[in-house]
Structure 1
């Protein structure tokens, strides 16, 4: 009898961890997820469409190759009617560039899908949420952050994403995140729960999330689409999506179960929209540039003086000839 009880206890100890792990995945939404193997038949992706330069391989979906002037995107075919969700994306950004690279990619939750445009390969003046993964190292304007940089933007269709200012005049929040050219897997988690947006990363291969930023009082409607797009310009990178996993999160007790959120206008309480565009002040000339300009001016003055002396000597010589 005692042996039987021991066996049952051991069996329970072995089964419990497996059950706990399984329960963490029971809210996984297959229709919003992308996992290997990707291809069902031919180049078709279950629940996903793609456009532009996007190619599907056995190990990743490449939005852009490491070539100039490329643009690609992947879009979920099913709208998300879940109120609270966690979107986890495994990605890889890599290329030949060590000091110069770009441009970056965006993870979307928006009303409009499958529309090419100037915002990292997708539509400007969008409705919804953009998580911008900006890698353009030679960034525009004077900012107090380095690149790569992750930021969030909420748009109700009236705002323009300003590439000339890296979107800093319309972002909700952001953080520096060096996610290029890693040999190990890199991940980003986008959690939207109880009107709070939380973006975290796992870039160091530690299997642990590190919070990038958190923004409260963010309103997003249900019925929008998940997607990802990328673009390259004069600078380039490979932008690869390895996996997308979407998890439905439980409603909190404070949330109304039957509330219709499909008509909510995307907004954030801390968002000052639209912000006035402020031109960046021109940076002061560096010491090297100042020295080069002074050298150039000095050479010009020397040339002018030499020409003046030559002209004066020639004039004096002509005057002497006339006297004789």
Structure 2
């Protein structure tokens, strides 16, 4: 009888504990009022629904379904983290404007490990420092003085190469072009590996990284991390070469050069951190720019009136030029009102 009572007590305690845990999981505590939404299954949350791929160029089904159900602001749980997702432009703008005021930058655990625990509280300073250095390389003044002519030269060369091919895979070719251009901006040279197509790897990196994080041989996530380590090794080798050059008084002032210069002044600028920053920028820019170029070309080709207006705008610019061999000027770039609208 006593044994049955003990078992009954243990089972009851287990049921109450699990029920309480599930309740707190579905209703997380918050100092304010959380938006509507669903936390999904315990621990897993709605991760699997989020990872479902979509071939549509519309808003991802995961976001779209919840926008229709809960509105532009909703709560959910992804990869074991409770998050609030916003698709409201005004709210997003407000959040960005309140950085270091009402809003504090948050970095995932992997980033905290990357910059070491003692630097986590410097997150706002890290962001500002990297933003300042990056804008010195790709900001409006740099775009006006150097990048506009450089990008035109690369694009013209690439388009000329496309005319020699019977067919062109726009996403892959755009990724290769972007890889070469961005690499030279960040590091002064193109990152190359004779064994792999790095532009293709960077293009698929973010997609593979969003697979379920199982670090087990054979999974996409495992292969993604292994390739990441190889690329980081290449970047680390280049960084070491640049540090040696800097010690000998040579610095070309690009993004990597400025980080190398700051390594003796800022404690968080470790070789590991700098390599990961370069890797992250390459992965983010190559994938987003090549995707944007591909979608822009598709949408323009699907809309004859847009293609006609775009053609007329550029032909008008060419007619006003004094010489046919002149490159794109800053004034011409600013006058491309319809082109900027498409972009």
TM-score between the two structures when normalised by the length of structure 2: 0.23
**Greater fraction of residues in helix:** 2
* Greater Rg over alpha carbons, structure: 1
**Greater fraction of residues in strand:** 1
TM-score between the two structures when normalised by the length of structure 1: 0.24
